[in-house]
Amino acid sequence: MLAFVNSIVTASPLISDGHCDRWQPGLVALHILGDWSIAFSYCAIAIALIYRTQKHPDYNWKLLLFSALIVAGATTHIMEALTLGHPLPGFSVILKAIAAIALIFLLPDLFKLVGSPTFICDRQQAEENLRWQETLLRSMADASPLAFYVVDNRSDEILYFNHRFCQIWGIEHLEAAMQRGELKNNEIIPDCLPQLVDVPAFAESCKPLQTEENRDAIEDEIPFTQGRTIRRFSTQIRDESDRYFGRLYLFEDISDRKQAETALKESEIRFQAFMDNSPTAAWITNDKGRILYLNPAYYRQFNVPNSYQPGKTDLSFFPAELRQEYLKNTRQVINSKQTLEVIEQGVRRDGSPGEFLVYKFPIPTTTGQLLVGGVAIDITERKKAEAEVKAQQQFLRQVIDVVPSAIFVKDRQGYFLIANKVSAQMHGTVPERMMNQREHDFNPNFDLAHLEQYLTTNQEVMETRQPQILTQEIMTAQGEMRWYKTVISPFIDAQDCVQGIIGTSTDITELKNVETELRQAKERAESANRAKSQFLSNMSHELRTPLNAILGFSQVMSRSNRLGNEQQEQLKIINRSGEHLLNLINDILSMAKIESGQLTLNPHCFHLPLFLDDLERMLQLKASEKGLQFIVERSPNLPTNVLADENKLRQILVNLLANAIKFTSTGSVRLGVSCTPQPDERLTLHFEITDTGPGIAPSEMGLLFDPFVQTTTGRQSMQGTGLGLPISREFVRLMGGEIEVDSHLAQGTTFRFNIDLSKSASARCKPRSAHQRVIGLEPNQPPYRILVVEDDDESRLLLLQLLQPLGFQVQQAVNGQEAVELSSSWKPHLIWMDIRMPVMDGYEATRRIKAASQGWSTIVIALTASAFEEERCEIIAAGCDDLVYKPFQESVLFDKMAEYLGVRYIYEEENSTSYQLSGISRKLTASDFSAMPLEWIANLHHATLCAREKQILQLVEQIPESDWFLAKALKDLVNNFRLDLIIDLTQSLIHE
C-alpha cells in the first residue's frame, strides 16, 4: 500500500494543499496512509457495534445511529485522502460537526454499554461456546447409533468419523491411526471389504459418489455378512457460498429392524392366511359397531351379501333385534375391557336361524381407541346333538338303573363320573352324591385297603388297556359283608385316549357259598379219586403180579417137549384165560386213566404192514369160527414205517373189529385202511370197519359211547363190559381224530375214524418176526451178565427160568439194597428192576446205581405192575432206561435186551405154508387122515368152515393116540389160525 501511494505522489515533487502550498512527498504519503487507517478503524468499530445489536436489542437504534456517524467520519478521512490536491474543507467539517453532536447525545449510553462486563467477555464467551458445541457434537456423534464419516474426495483425506463407523465396518484396530490422520480413505477400504456380501456391487454403487459434480443425496441398503443390513445415507458438504468441502456418509445398522419388519410381515402373512383359511367366522368392529374387517369364513357362515364392503356400513343386513343384541355385547366389551363369551342368535348362509358361540375381545390401538374383535362358532348342530345326547343319557340312565349289577365309570384318579342305582345302594347313598367322589367319601365302612387295591388295578388297566377281574369281600354301608366280582375295563374316548375305567360289580355272595360247597365236594371227590387211584394201583399190582407168574410160567412150560398134546392144550387154555383177564384189567385201568385225565400217548416207530398182518391173523380165526368173511382192504400208498402209539391203535381196532365179529351172524366184516399225504412228512390214516350185523337202533346211538352201558344187542350176547367203545373213542380223540358211526337196523354198522401220523425212516423201525420163538444165543458173543431184582419169588423164578436156559449169566436180588451191592461188585450189563420192594424200592436203588457207575454204564429196565402214567414218569425220572409192564410176554424181554445190549438170538424155524411140525421135518398131508372115518372128516370140515374152535378140538380128542402126529398137527394149525389148510385137506378127502 505504501508503495502504491508513493507511486502516486512521486509523480510530482510538490503537492498543493489547502493549508500548505507544498508538502514533501514523504509526508503526503504518510498523511494519506493515516487517513485510510483511520477510516478502516472507524468501519471496524461500526461493524462491532452492528454485531452488538444482536446481543443488546434494547440499544439497537442507538448503536445503528452511532455506527452510521462513525462510517460518516471514516468517509471524511477517505475524502481528505482522495481530495488532497483539491480539498473540500466545508464538507468534512460539516460531517465531523454532526458526528460530534450525535456523539455528545449518545455518549452516556455508550459509556454504559462499553463499560459493562458482558461486552468485554462476549468474545471469550463466544469462543467457549464454540468449543463446548464442538465437544458436544463430538460426544453426540460418538454416542449416536449412526456412523458418521466425512471424506474429501479430492484429496482422499478423512475429515471426520466417529467410533460407531469403526464398529460397523470392523476396523477398530485402525481407529487410533485414523484419529492421528495417518490413514487415507483408500487405505482403510481393504479392511472394510470382508464385511460386504457383494463387493463388486458395492464398488459400483460408490462410483457416482466420487465426483464433486454429483450433488445428489443417496439412500440405500448394503447387505453385510452374518445376515446384517446397513442403511447408507450420503450427501455433499457445501457452505453458504456453495464451496465444496467433501461428502458426508451416515451408516446405520438396521438388521434388527429388518428382522422385525420381516417377522412382522411374516406374522401378517400368517395371520391373513390363518384368517383366510379359518373355518370360524371372525371380524373386527369399532366401538360404534361398524365392521372394519371380515374374514372369508364370515361370508360363508352368515347371510352376508358378497358385495358387502367392511368399513362402509354397519350391521344393517342383520335383523334389527339381532343388531341391538350385537351392539349391546360390543359395548359391554368396550366398557369392561374384558373378553366376553356369549351365545348369540344369527342367520346362517342358507337363511335358516342358528345359534353361535361368540367370543368378543378388546383390541387396543396406538391411538388409544379400542376396537372389538370377535369369532363365532356355529353350534346349531352341536346344540341339537347335545339335546340328543341328553336324551340318550337319560335313556342310558334308565337302562343301567334296571341292571341288577353295579355299573360305574371313574376318571384316572378314581373319582366317580357315572354310577347307577345299584352302585349307590351298595354304598348307602344316591348316584348324584357319588359324582366326583371316591368310595370312602360316602361309605364310612369302606376299607381303605380295598380302595388302594382298586386304584392300583385301575392304573394297570389304563396302562395295559387290558381288562382285569377282582373278587373281593366288601362291607356295605349297612355293615354287611358281601362278595363282589368286579370287572374293570379301560374307558377309551373317541380319540383313542384312556380317560379312566368302566366297571361292573356283581354280588356273588350266593355264588361264593355254592362255590365253597362245590370246592368242598370237589375236595371230597378228589380225595375219593385219589383213594380210587391208589386202590386201582394196588389192585393192578396185586392182580398183575400173580398173573405175570401164571402167563410167564405157561410160556416157560410150552417150551418143554415132554408135555403131551393134552397138557399143551391145557397150557393154551390157561394162557388164553390169562390174556382175557389181562384185557379186562387193562380196560378197567384205561377207563380209570380216562376219568382222571392221565391218558397219554407213547408213540414209537413200527412197521405198518406187519401191524395189519398181525391184526388180520389174530381176528381171522374168530371170523372163521362164525362162518364170516374177514376182509382187510389196504390202499397201495400206505407207508411202511409210521410213528404212533402202536398199542393204543391196536386196542382201538381190536375193540371195533371184535365187536363187529361178535354181533354179526352172517355175511362179512371188512377193515378198510387208506392214506392221505399231508405236508411236512405227515399223513392221515383213514380206518373204516363195516359189518353186516343187526345194526344199532337210533334210540341207542346216544348211549353207544357211555361207559359200562351196553346196547340191547350187547346185553343179549351176555359178553363184554361196555368199556370197549368208550375207551376206543378216547384213544382216537387223543390221536387227534373222532369216531363216526353210521348204522341201519338189519343192514349193518360202519365205524370210521381218522388219525394224523408222521412218517418215519428210523433204522430201528424194523419188522419183527411174528411167530419165531427164541431158543438160544448166537455164538461169538460176550457173556451177558443180567441181574434180576424182584421181591416176589414166583416172578423172580420166572425171569431166571426164561434167561438162564438161553445162556445168560444171571444173578438175583430180593430188594433194592442187595441190588446196589451186587451192581457195585458184579457190574451187570442189564438189570431187570422191580419197583415195589421192601427195604429199598426200585426208585432209590436205580438212583444209587446210576450215581455210583464210574466208567461202567448199566442198563436198568423197570418191571412194574402199575399201568398209571405218573408212575411211568417217576420211573424214567429216577434213571431207568426203559420199563416193561407186568404181565409180560417173553418176546418183549428178549427184544428189550436186543435193543439195549445188541444181543443176537437163535430162533425156532418158522412154520411153512403147508405146516411143518416143530422139530420134525414132515408135512401134514391127506394120507395122515387115512385112519379116520369119512363122517368124522366131514364133521371136521364143517366145524372148520364155521370156525367153531371148540367143536374142532372135541373132534381132535377122538383121534387115537397112535395118530398123535395128526392130533398135534391139527391143534397147531388151530392155534396158528391156519384153518384154511384144514379146509383144503378135508375138502379134497370128502370129494374123493
**Is pLDDT of 692 > 70?**
yes
Q: What is the pLDDT of residue 9?
A: 44
Q: Are residues 614 and 732 in the same domain?
A: yes
| Grid cell digits, residue 159 | 475429515
In a domain, 292, yes or no: yes
Cα–Cα separations (whole angstroms), residue 338 to 136, 286, 356, 364: 50, 15, 19, 12
Mean pLDDT, the chain, rounded, equals: 78
Confidence tier at 687 by pLDDT (50, 70, 90): very high
- Among the residues of 248-350, which ranges form H helices? 255-277, 296-301, 320-336
- Which stretch of 96-100, 118-122, 389-393, 620-624 has the lowest confidence by average pLDDT? 118-122
Q: Are residues 739 and 651 in the same domain?
A: yes
Q: Are residues 880 and 949 in the same domain?
A: no
Q: What is the pLDDT of residue 991?
A: 64
In a domain, 128, yes or no: no
Does residue 855 or residue 969 have the better pLDDT? 969
User: 3-state DSSP call for residue 373?
Assistant: strand
Residue 210: alpha-carbon gap to chain centroid: 73
Q: What is the pLDDT of residues 813-861, one digit of tens each?
A: 999 999 999 999 999 999 999 988 999 999 999 999 998 876 578 999 9
Q: What is the pLDDT of residue 1?
A: 46
Q: What is the pLDDT of residue 307?
A: 74
Exposed e or buried b per residue across 596-605, where buried means at least 16 C-beta atoms within 10 angstroms of its C-beta: beebeeebeb
Q: Are residues 81 and 171 in the same domain?
A: no
Q: Are residues 453 and 523 in the same domain?
A: no
**Is pLDDT of 628 > 50?**
yes
Picking from 841, 874, 907, the residue at the C-terminal end of a domain is 907
Q: Are residues 16 and 95 in the same domain?
A: yes
Q: What is the CATH number of the domain that holds 330?
A: 3.30.450.20
Q: What is the CATH number of the domain that holds 838?
A: 3.40.50.2300
Q: DSSP labels for 6-53?
A: HHHHTTSS-B--SS-S-B-HHHHHHHHHHHHHHHHHHHHHHHHHHHHH
Q: DSSP labels for 844-868?
A: HHHHHHHHH-SS---EEEEEE----
Backbone angles phi, psi at 891, to 5 degrees: -65, -35
In a domain, 123, yes or no: no
* Global model pTM greater than 0.75: no
Q: What is the pLDDT of residues 133-181, one digit of tens each?
A: 667 666 666 667 788 888 888 888 888 888 888 988 988 888 888 888 8
In a domain, 585, yes or no: no
d(Cα 810, Cα 832) in Å, to the nearest integer?
10
Does residue 262 or residue 537 have the better pLDDT? 262
Q: What is the pLDDT of residues 694-724, one digit of tens each?
A: 888 887 776 777 665 555 555 544 455 567 7
**Is pLDDT of 573 > 60?**
yes
In a domain, 126, yes or no: no
- Which stretch of 588-602, 663-677, 730-744 has the lowest confidence by average pLDDT? 588-602
Confidence tier at 672 by pLDDT (50, 70, 90): very high
Number of domains the chain is built from: 8
Q: Are residues 640 and 676 in the same domain?
A: yes
- Which stretch of 5-19, 480-494, 659-673, 740-754 has the lowest confidence by average pLDDT? 5-19
Picking from 728, 759, 790, the residue at the C-terminal end of a domain is 759
Residue 539 structural domain: 514-579
Cα–Cα separations (whole angstroms), residue 746 to 623, 691, 710, 718, 739: 19, 11, 18, 20, 22
Pick the closest to residue 311 from 287, 333, 285 (CA basis). Answer: 285
Confidence tier at 47 by pLDDT (50, 70, 90): confident
Q: What is the pLDDT of residue 977?
A: 65
Q: Which amino acid is it at 731?
A: F
d(Cα 659, Cα 749) in Å, to the nearest integer?
11
In a domain, 153, yes or no: yes
Q: Are residues 497 and 518 in the same domain?
A: no
Q: Are residues 727 and 797 in the same domain?
A: no
Confidence tier at 890 by pLDDT (50, 70, 90): confident
Mean pLDDT for 960-978 is 77
Give the percent of the chain with pLDDT over 70. 73
| Grid cell digits, residue 863 | 418191571
Q: What is the pLDDT of residue 57?
A: 59
| DSSP category for residue 172 | G
d(Cα 518, Cα 508) in Å, to the nearest integer?
15
Picking from 759, 791, 824, the residue at the C-terminal end of a domain is 759
Pick the closest to residue 158 from 255, 247, 95, 94 (CA basis). Answer: 247
Q: What is the pLDDT of residues 504-553, one digit of tens each?
A: 888 888 888 888 888 888 788 777 766 666 666 666 666 666 766 676 66
d(Cα 485, Cα 508) in Å, to the nearest integer?
6
CB-based contacts of 960, cutoff 8 Å, min separation 6: 931
Q: What is the pLDDT of residue 754?
A: 94
In a domain, 129, yes or no: no
Does residue 226 or residue 758 have the better pLDDT? 226
Q: Are residues 212 and 296 in the same domain?
A: no
The 3-state secondary structure of 898-967, one letter per residue: HHHHCCCEEECCCCCCCCECCCCCCECCHHHHCCCCHHHHHHHHHHHHCCCHHHHHHHHCCCCHHHHHHH
Q: What is the pLDDT of residue 440?
A: 75
Q: What is the pLDDT of residue 811?
A: 95
Strands (E), 467-540: 468-475, 481-492, 498-507
Confidence tier at 626 by pLDDT (50, 70, 90): confident
User: Residue 465, exposed/middle/buried by CB under 10 A (0-12, 13-18, 19+)?
Assistant: exposed
Q: Are residues 785 and 811 in the same domain?
A: yes
- Which stretch of 430-439, 440-449, 595-604 has the lowest confidence by average pLDDT? 595-604
Q: Are residues 367 and 398 in the same domain?
A: no
d(Cα 270, Cα 888) in Å, to the nearest integer?
96
In a domain, 125, yes or no: no
User: Residue 370, exposed/middle/buried by CB under 10 A (0-12, 13-18, 19+)?
Assistant: middle
Confidence tier at 763 by pLDDT (50, 70, 90): very low
